[in-house]
Amino acid sequence: MNSRYIILSVLGLLLIVASFFGAKAIIASKKERRPQPSKVVKTVFVDTVTNKEIDIVVPANGNLVAKERVELFAEVQGVFRPGAYLFKTGQEYRKGQTLIRIDASEYRASVQSAKSNYYNLLTSIMPDLRLDYPEVFDKWQNYLASYELDKATPALPEFTSEKEKYFISGKGILTSFYNVKNLEQRLSKYVIAAPFTGVLADALVSEGTLVRSGQKLGEFIKTGTYELQVALPKSYSEFLKVGKTVNLENLEKNKTYTGKVSRVNGRVDLATQTITVFIEVVDADLKEGQYLEAKLEARQEPNAIEIDRSLMLDNNQIYVVRDSILDVIDVNPVYFSDKTVVLKNVPDGERIITRPVVGAYPGMLVQVYKEKNTTVE
């Protein structure tokens, strides 16, 4: 038993020693092969700077509003009667055509009664005029002959003397005349005609509705002439003159229009420090509420260049290439748009980066892809 234990112990010890030296030999035989990093030189795109006068264009946007619009309100009460066209949104009317007709049969009867009383009053004074004022009788006789109950009451003849005026006034002619004119004026409010050629933008009532005095009936707008209201920084107020031409573009960027500054608000908005500008544009294809973008030429900046905003570094610097090495220079940004920036203090002849370089840093070795014939301006 003891000899067997000794033999196994010796064999185990020999196995451990053999394993140790075998593992050491295997480790020693393995050669470490690490790939040598290759030196990467990034390709960059550059342009040569040439300073020039840059037109600073301020973008602004908004929705079109009809320049001429009328909110329709009822000044009298009655039933809305059907007309030649249905009173519906989008219906077009020519200037002078009836928009709304309210039933005025009862009120018209009272007007005719007042006109009849006025006519009778005129007739009653004619004998006195023939006897006491023969010099004005023909004038009033002609006026009476021209008076028709179915037409508007004509204006009174001019008075030629104070005696005539006192006589006519004393007979109640003036009071009756102005009472009739007042009733006729109110009768005219039962019909609302189109003040200009346009379209019904909003209809709040329909035929057969009982219309009440003061009720809003709809909105009528003139088509073809619109205004675009935009807000611009107050720093550009001195460049925004009435009559200045403005280029406009639709949302799809496939149509352009020409407008002009029609009005400039004289007050600066306290919250946004902007000035409201109204741009008038005339085009039959435009619609109220349509979105347009305006590009106003605010000013011209001399000795400057314009580049993409993505090329600007956080500390007002840009990358340049000098002898295949990236370097940075300080610049003075004078105007930022949504995509570009206008810079000053960039020397002529500098080769600046025109596309962003991932992982760029000053001193980085680069190679220029292609020298363009065009220059950055």
Of 185, 220, 255, which closes a domain? Answer: 220
37 assigned to some structural domain = no
How far is residue 107 CA from its own chain's centroid? 45
Q: And the tokens for 102?
A: 């309210």
Query: Which residues pair with residue 218 across a beta bridge?
Result: 72, 203
147 assigned to some structural domain = yes
Kindly state whether residues 99 and 190 are assigned to the same domain.
yes
Mean pLDDT by 10 residues, the chain (377 residues): 67 72 66 57 86 84 91 93 89 92 91 92 90 88 89 89 89 92 93 93 91 94 91 76 86 88 87 88 90 82 88 88 89 84 89 88 84 50
Instruction: Look at residue 7 in the predicted model and tell me its pLDDT.
Output: 72
Q: Name the domain count of the chain.
A: 4
Sheet holding 216-221, edge to edge: 69-73, 216-221, 198-203, 92-93
Instruction: Look at residue 202 in the predicted model and tell me its pLDDT.
Output: 92
273 assigned to some structural domain = yes
Identify the domain containing residue 311 by its residue range.
44-54+302-376
Instruction: Look at residue 200 in the predicted model and tell me its pLDDT.
Output: 94
Instruction: Look at residue 252 in the predicted model and tell me its pLDDT.
Output: 84
Kindly state whether residues 238 and 215 are assigned to the same domain.
no
Instruction: Look at residue 115 in the predicted model and tell me its pLDDT.
Output: 92
Whether the CB-CB separation of 56 and 300 falls below 8 Å is answered with yes
Instruction: Look at residue 16 in the predicted model and tell me its pLDDT.
Output: 77
Of 282, 300, 318, which closes a domain? Answer: 300
38 assigned to some structural domain = no
Cβ-proximal residues to 151 (8 Å cutoff; 6+ apart), any chain: none
123 assigned to some structural domain = yes
Whether the CB-CB separation of 343 and 332 falls below 8 Å is answered with yes
Q: Count the Cβ atoms, other than its own, within 10 Å of residue 220.
A: 25
Whether the CB-CB separation of 230 and 272 falls below 8 Å is answered with no
pTM score: 0.65
39 assigned to some structural domain = no
